[in-house]
Chain A
Amino acid sequence: MTKLLSMNRRHFLQTSAAGALALTPGLLPGRALAQNALTVGFIYVGPKDDYGYNQAHAEGAAALKALPGVTIVEEENVPETVDVQKTMESMINLDGATLIFPTSFGYFDPHMLAMAAKYPDVQFRHCGGLWQEGKNPMNTGSYFGYIGQGQYLNGITAGYTSKSKKIGFVAAKPIPQVLQNINSFLLGARSVDPTITCQVIFTGEWSLAVKEAEATNALIDQGADVITCHVDSPKVVVETAAGRGAFVCGYHANQSPLAPEKYLTGAEWAWGNVYSDFVKKAQTGEKLGNFVRGGLKDGFVKMSPLGPAVPAEGRTKFDATLAKIMTGTFSVFKGPIKDNKGNVVVAAEKSFAEDAIELESMDYLVEGVVGSTA
């Protein structure tokens, strides 16, 4: 016991890094790849197989397992408290991780920043949009995907499929990312039929199965026949909606196995591409980007294959819009746009590209959305 206690931290790092190297699969002495060996840490706020947010990240991490010289360590169900700081430290000290991905929003401040200050040789990349040049250290950074356009495409399929002209959205909390998704969903549907309205219900929690089921039922009771959501795990919403005979659009990951007949399409993350890119750069010693973003065009986001219920004209419009998005010339928030209280929020001559900074502080629901942000 005293022997362990007398080890100082550097010795520990050396021995554990050596240990991690020895554990890395495929690493035999003498192979030239030895210097590219990398241990990458992933931290999830929920379970890895939640058919949603965390699963999308875990699938991205799984894509790394095929890369030579890469070891992944993952930990799930880590709350956004001092626990995640200790988890990061544990991965750095005991597993020898030099690249950490804390994937939940609340990990950034103060937890990841505190760890980044303490371990300047380790790279941290956070999923979100919070990194600021000059304010945050250079061994940290943000990566995120523009998934709003994915919800727009969801909305297009909803527009062609809805018979009641009412669509529904089960949302967790009224934060800008979620509001952007709600608005994009409606705008996509309205591009097909301008009379469509979207009702939104906020559950108040990122993951609460009973509330999500209640919200879905309430939306369908009010006449919505296409439902999508922004909660951590869409499984309950998808199954409940499909069980009531409504159509569903997926989010985060591909939920079509849960409701193959009713699933129209879904906006999914493609984190595997993002993570592979980071890892390759880390292995070759290239500098990792600090503010990495991309949408459908850059392969950060992808759409699920279209389900059987989408009519042919819907497919045509979907494909055409997707093609336009891929050229980078499409924008969802093109003026004039009013919010659902009557104020003009996007002036007639303005148009916001997907990476426009103004979208990051969205606090309104567009006209046609039934619901309120507070």
Chain B
Amino acid sequence: MTVEVNTSAMSIASERPSVLRPTIEWLARRAEPIAISFGAILIGLALFSVFILVIGKAPTTLFQLMYTGGFGSWFSIQNSLSRAAPLLLTALCVALPARLGLVIIGGEGAVVLGGVASAAIALPFIGTVPALLVLLLMAAAAMTVGGIWIGLAGFLRHYRGVNETISSLLLAYIAIALMNQFVEGPLRDPASLNKPSTAPLPAEYMLGKIPGMDVHWGLAIGVIACIASWVLIEVTSYGFAARIAGGNVRAAQIQGLPVGRLIVGFTAIAGSFAGLAGMIEVAAVQGSANASLAAGYGYTGILVAFLARHNPLAIIPVAILLGGIDASGGLIQRRMALPDATVLVLQGTLFVVILFCETFYGRFKIFNPDLWKRSA
């Protein structure tokens, strides 16, 4: 007789209906990230409520206002969506390199330089070239510049061993200084006396709003970018190679994967998305490039990417959630006389708790069907 190892599993499987068990197992595996993420959010909200109680305010009022301000009406929902739009792209700038194992936090730099590049390239073509072409040109310029900027961080990481977190941050500070120099110097519109800006885009050349909504097309572009990124990572072989390299660089190199090209390529793509966010800010909101480009979208994008566990599809709901929290911030300020930093504390708490809850992955037997059989 052969040794009866694990025959109990096979016998159980053959006794039960053949569809139910695998379905339950599939559900159990899929449920893990959702359950832990939700659990983490709940814990974070609970901790935040304690904080609110300690300072003498009512958490229930706060959450009501958060809901009203973020999602309680069509106006609020559009408010949240508007704020989420740039975050979709800047979060990709963090999430894509993260799948390769790199932590890039300098997306802000790509945003501002992308914005400046797009404003600069539009200037000579206004009035002579159709609007759609100008917008495409702007997007191309922004994506190129943004891609070069973050790609530089990736290049330095692979070919010089410079830590990409720090280099991308330094590059972000340098980019903001460059942006200020360009906008106040060579690219300055002489008519923009009191707020140095590039020459304004005429209204026909601006990116409009999605029909039926008060939100500009940047939202749709962001969603498409997220979907495209997901396809890139999960479906294409390029993305597959990147994920392997992200898991273990040495193993990838042994396999012959072009790790250097992967790193530079992915960071360039990530930077191009952030640059696109800058272009959208210019073309859909501001109409010109100026100091308001450095609005912190890059930094909030870091939070979104980590909360979404670097999954491009998950970035969409997380960005909307964070947009909602941001949107409600104003209402909380006005109704509860709480400072605007309240929203920062909430975001920080959620961020810390969700990252901490990473440790729970794999700990709960209920989510791991391989462990169920032991009890049979």
Q: Do chains A and B touch in the complex (CB under 8 A)?
A: yes
In the complex with contacts A80-B292, A81-B286, A81-B292, A4-B340 CB distance below 8 A = no
Chain A stretch 138-176: residues in CB contact (< 8 A) with chain B: 173-176
In the complex with contacts A81-B285, A110-B285, A173-B184, A5-B73 CB distance below 8 A = yes
B75/A93 in contact, CB under 8 A: yes
Interface contacts (Cβ under 8 Å), in number, total: 86
A77/B340 in contact, CB under 8 A: yes
A177/B194 in contact, CB under 8 A: yes
Q: How far is the CA of A91 from the CA of B75 in the complex (A)?
A: 12
CB-defined contacts of B193 to chain A, threshold 8 Å: 175-176, 360-361
Size band of the interface chain B makes with A: 20 to 34
B72/A4 in contact, CB under 8 A: yes
Q: How far is the CA of A176 from the CA of B194 in the complex (A)?
A: 6
Q: How far is the CA of A204 from the CA of B176 in the complex (A)?
A: 12
A268 within 8 A of B: no
In the complex with contacts A76-B333, A82-B83, A110-B285, A9-B295 CB distance below 8 A = no
Mask for B120-133, Cβ within 8 A of A = 1, else 0?
00000000000000
Chain B stretch 67-94: residues in CB contact (< 8 A) with chain A: 68-69, 72-75, 79, 82-83
CB-defined contacts of B250 to chain A, threshold 8 Å: none
B68/A94 in contact, CB under 8 A: yes
B16 within 8 A of A: no
Q: How far is the CA of A4 from the CA of B74 in the complex (A)?
A: 8
A12/B73 in contact, CB under 8 A: yes
- Out of A9, A82, A93, which one reaches B285, CB within 8 Å? A82
A7 nearest in chain B by CB position: B73
CB-defined contacts of A337 to chain B, threshold 8 Å: none
B194/A105 in contact, CB under 8 A: yes
B334/A9 in contact, CB under 8 A: no
Chain B stretch 193-221: residues in CB contact (< 8 A) with chain A: 193-196, 200
A354 within 8 A of B: no
B334/A86 in contact, CB under 8 A: no
A89/B75 in contact, CB under 8 A: yes
Residue with the highest number of chain A CB atoms closer than 10 Å, among B180, B330, B334, B339: B330
CB-defined contacts of B108 to chain A, threshold 8 Å: none
In the complex with contacts A105-B195, A175-B193, A361-B193, A82-B180 CB distance below 8 A = no
CB-defined contacts of B287 to chain A, threshold 8 Å: 109-110
A73/B334 in contact, CB under 8 A: yes
A133 within 8 A of B: no
In the complex with contacts A106-B195, A173-B184, A74-B74 CB distance below 8 A = no
B180 nearest in chain A by CB position: A204
A94 nearest in chain B by CB position: B331
Mask for A60-89, Cβ within 8 A of B = 1, else 0?
000000000000011111111111001101
Chain B stretch 269-304: residues in CB contact (< 8 A) with chain A: 281, 285-287, 290, 292, 295-296
A128 within 8 A of B: yes
In the complex with contacts A81-B281, A86-B327, A91-B334, A110-B75 CB distance below 8 A = no
- Out of A86, A361, A374, which one reaches B330, CB within 8 Å? A86
CB-defined contacts of B184 to chain A, threshold 8 Å: 173-174, 204, 374
In the complex with contacts A81-B285, A81-B286, A86-B82, A75-B75 CB distance below 8 A = no
Residue with the highest number of chain B CB atoms closer than 10 Å, among A12, A78, A81, A175: A81
A212 within 8 A of B: no
Residue with the highest number of chain A CB atoms closer than 10 Å, among B185, B196, B331: B331
In the complex with contacts A12-B73, A77-B340, A90-B292 CB distance below 8 A = no
B227 to chain A, nearest CB (A): 23
CB-defined contacts of A12 to chain B, threshold 8 Å: 73, 75
Mask for A331-373, Cβ within 8 A of B = 1, else 0?
0000000000000000000000000000011000000000000
A87/B83 in contact, CB under 8 A: no
B79/A90 in contact, CB under 8 A: yes
In the complex, how many residues of chain A place their beta carbon closer than 8 angstroms to a beta carbon of chain B?
40
CB-defined contacts of A82 to chain B, threshold 8 Å: 82-83, 285
Q: How far is the CA of A83 from the CA of B326 in the complex (A)?
A: 9
- Out of B83, B185, B290, which one reaches A86, CB within 8 Å? B83
Q: How far is the CA of A82 from the CA of B207 in the complex (A)?
A: 14
Mask for B215-232, Cβ within 8 A of A = 1, else 0?
000000000000000000
A95 within 8 A of B: yes
Q: How far is the CA of A91 from the CA of B330 in the complex (A)?
A: 9
A9 nearest in chain B by CB position: B75
Q: How far is the CA of A174 from the CA of B68 in the complex (A)?
A: 42
A374 nearest in chain B by CB position: B185
A114 nearest in chain B by CB position: B285
CB-defined contacts of B326 to chain A, threshold 8 Å: 83
Chain A stretch 1-59: residues in CB contact (< 8 A) with chain B: 4-5, 7, 9, 12
Q: How far is the CA of A86 from the CA of B326 in the complex (A)?
A: 11
In the complex with contacts A81-B286, A86-B82, A74-B73 CB distance below 8 A = no
B73/A4 in contact, CB under 8 A: yes
Q: How far is the CA of A128 from the CA of B193 in the complex (A)?
A: 12
In the complex with contacts A82-B285, A91-B334, A177-B194, A106-B185 CB distance below 8 A = no
Chain B stretch 291-342: residues in CB contact (< 8 A) with chain A: 292, 295-296, 326-327, 330-331, 333-334, 339-340
B292/A76 in contact, CB under 8 A: no
B182 to chain A, nearest CB (A): 13
B75/A81 in contact, CB under 8 A: no
CB-defined contacts of B339 to chain A, threshold 8 Å: 76
A87/B196 in contact, CB under 8 A: no
In the complex with contacts A90-B79, A94-B68, A175-B194, A75-B292 CB distance below 8 A = no
A339 to chain B, nearest CB (A): 17
A110 to chain B, nearest CB (A): 6
Q: How far is the CA of A239 from the CA of B22 in the complex (A)?
A: 71
CB-defined contacts of A374 to chain B, threshold 8 Å: 184-185
Q: How far is the CA of A99 from the CA of B281 in the complex (A)?
A: 28
Can you list 8 A-B contacts with CB-CB less than 8 angstroms, sorted by A residue number?
Answer: A4-B72, A9-B74, A74-B334, A86-B82, A89-B79, A90-B331, A175-B194, A361-B193
| Smallest CB-CB A-B distances: 7 pairs | A80-B292, A77-B340, A86-B79, A175-B194, A73-B334, A81-B295, A87-B330
